[in-house]
Amino acid sequence: MLLFFVCLLGLLSIVTTLLMVLFSGKMIPYATASSEVWPGSLSEKSWVPINGVEMGMIIKTRDQTRPVLLFIHGGPGLPEYWLNASHPSPLDELFTVVWWDQRGAGLSYHPNIAPTTMTTEQLVADTISVTQYLRQRFRQDKIYLMAHAFGSYLGIQAAARAPELYHAYIGVAQSVNLALSEELAYQFMLNYYAEDPKNRAQLEKAPYGTAAYERIRDRMMHEAGIGTTHTMYSVFTGIFLAVIKHREYLFKEKLDLWRGKAFSKNALLNEEFRQANLSDLITRLELPVIFFSGAYDYTVNFHLAELYLEELEAPEKHFYLFEDSAHSPIFEEPEAVIRILKNLLH
């Protein structure tokens, strides 16, 4: 009996330690070989009042004098800092990286946020306001703007509205025409699952544009290798468990990530971005433009992004296709991304 209680106490101790690690929510600092905080580095989780809402952001840098890069996440309403743990993106080798959670999402989620404020116009205005805050805080006249997927629909509008605030605009999985992109993805999956009677039948019974399709879309995209990453075949293990295991989020912050995703999706359900075509909205940018796309990306169709960039007028523009990536090349092929960005900085 004594041995049983000793084993039980040992198990409880292990579980308690594990929970403390998983749910401590403390930021992991950059450390020297002697475990001291790296001089001049920053590993911070903070909240700033932006246009009437306390907005959360995570700031990571090995050197606070480096150029600031503001990252606009996708979704809608799904921050991406958690993905940096399982798929490290060494953006902080070059930049002071600001992983900002948009209004109503993740660290910026609050149940009192009015759904009526969740509009494209407001989110673009928030982007510019966060930019102004970062310029003042880090004493830099201009910063770099990187936006992903749905975030790129917002980011490119912010860059068009206030180009003087940014060195360059970097669109990752640049959204152009969401409705057409989704139709192309559906057709791709019909062909992909042609030899898979079960999944093919599910798709045929749940055509694009229906609620039934929305329920199976993410699972089927990931199993087909055209989801978050080319090798992330499960939403549960690749996203849900990755968030749960993340050490730098409190348990409540992990719950808020999912609350914010649901809130943002519902609040933005009828927003114009779902039918918008950026080819009609933004035809010129007054700053350098770079697009990063994955060859396996059908979540946001890479062909549409390439065609759009050809039409877009800009003083300098570049399109990069990553052959081993799907929707997230900065996380899937980080070394190649860093090489390109190093050239941008010099």
> Could you tell me the CA-to-CA distances from 77 to 33, 104, 295 in Å, in that order?
38, 7, 25
**DSSP per-residue codes, 233-282:** --HIIIIIHHHHH-TTSBHHHHHHHHHHHHHHHHHTTT-GGGT-BHHHH-
pLDDT in tens, 46-91: 999 999 999 999 999 999 999 999 999 999 999 999 999 899 998 9
pLDDT in the model for residue 17: 43
User: Residue 179: which residues within 8 A CB-CB, separation 6 or more?
Assistant: 274, 275
238-244: average pLDDT = 94
Give the pLDDT confidence score for residue 36 in this predicted structure: 85
Bridge partners, 44 (sequence order): 59
pLDDT of residue 94: 96
Phi, psi dihedral angles at 257 (to 5 degrees): -60, -40
pTM for the predicted model, two decimal places: 0.92
Calculated CA dihedral for residues 145, 306, 102, 270, nearest 10 degrees: 150
The answer to whether 53 and 103 are in contact (CB under 8 A) is yes
Residue 7 pLDDT more than 70? no
pLDDT tops 90 at residue 21: no
Domain residue spans of the chain: 42-176+243-345
pLDDT of the residue at 271: 86
Assigned CATH for 42-176+243-345: 3.40.50.1820
| Among the ranges given (21-25, 39-43, 48-52, 240-244), the one the predictor scored with the smallest mean pLDDT | 21-25
pLDDT in tens, 309-320: 999 999 999 999
Query: Does the pLDDT at position 288 exceed 60?
Result: yes
pLDDT of the residue at 146:
98
pLDDT at 75 (0 to 100): 92
